[in-house]
Structure 1
């Protein structure tokens, strides 16, 4: 999903995700896509530097989450169970603000700083 500048149609933000059969983001799910998965791994929420601190990431996430809920409602079966993310500790409050729940320190290790598992049940 992308967010575009209304004036010039330039992309100012985007989300990147894959599906997994696991309940959380794992080392393996960071580099694979399992089409039959019911957990959406949100890998990136990116906003252009000049467009940050304007609520774009929040609105992009809210619109995306709403779209996923609509997909679940319009199918005869629940297509997606949850969205899972790995968050830096300083961004947990941002994700909680749009509905995610903090689970704790992730088993996934990338660099010296811990990652935090967060989920949003759909």
Structure 2
């Protein structure tokens, strides 16, 4: 027997287990709560999504950091291969109706989750990612014992989108931002049957 045949060969790379092969790769798709370290990526997406439409952002960078520090568990980001492609930021509110204070305050004893902003990166729009993320966010809220409902304010043209996802219009919102007026909407999350993913949301 030759010396070459007697020597043990190293294990070929292609025989490694799938877990070993993926050890240093990022997941193709991941949903997780955001942290203050994500604030810049969040704001870049938000700024591009809103400034071209309304001239301003729902949350400025310092406000994004503020909410991701106080209540990161009420945010949700969608990451593709480590890159943020869509997100929701929320906080708690303790009154039946939103008012101007709701734009900047987090009320830890509240039972209403105020959705401040939902935005999708421009290269991932028109793919249904916004509705998928919102559906997952609502399912997540249903597991939080203190969450009674989700509430938001939006412009008229977005009412059908949110209505399709289970939100009901409550009428004009008391909050105004410059010349913009909004409709207030809510979706119950406590004791509410899970929406089916194929419901069209």
Same fold (TM > 0.5): yes
Across the two proteins, how many residue pairs are aligned to each other? Answer: 114
For residues 24 and 12 of structure 1, what CA distance do their matches in structure 2 show? 31
Are 1:71 and 2:140 an aligned pair?
A: no
Q: Which runs of 5+ in 2 are unaligned?
A: 1-75, 190-201
**Could you tell me whether the CA contact under 8 Å between 1:19 and 1:41 is conserved in 2?**
yes
What does residue range 1-122 of structure 1 map to in structure 2 within 5 Å?
Answer: 1-5=76-80, 8-72=81-145, 79-122=146-189
For residues 156 and 91 of structure 2, what CA distance do their matches in structure 1 show? 22
Q: Which has the higher helix share?
A: 2
How far does the alpha carbon of each residue in 1:79-112 deviate from its partner, in whole angstroms, 9 at most, with x for none? 1111110111000001011100011111111122
RMSD between aligned alpha carbons? Answer: 1.1
Which has more radius of gyration? 2
For residues 48 and 60 of structure 1, what CA distance do their matches in structure 2 show? 13
Structure 1 residue 9: Cα displacement: 2.2
TM-score normalised according to structure 1 size:
0.88
> Which structure 1 residue ranges, 4+ long, deviate > 4 Å from structure 2?
none
TM-score normalised according to structure 2 size:
0.55
For residues 119 and 175 of structure 2, what CA distance do their matches in structure 1 show? 21
**Could you tell me whether the CA contact under 8 Å between 1:3 and 1:14 is conserved in 2?**
yes
Q: Which runs of 5+ in 1 are unaligned?
A: 73-78
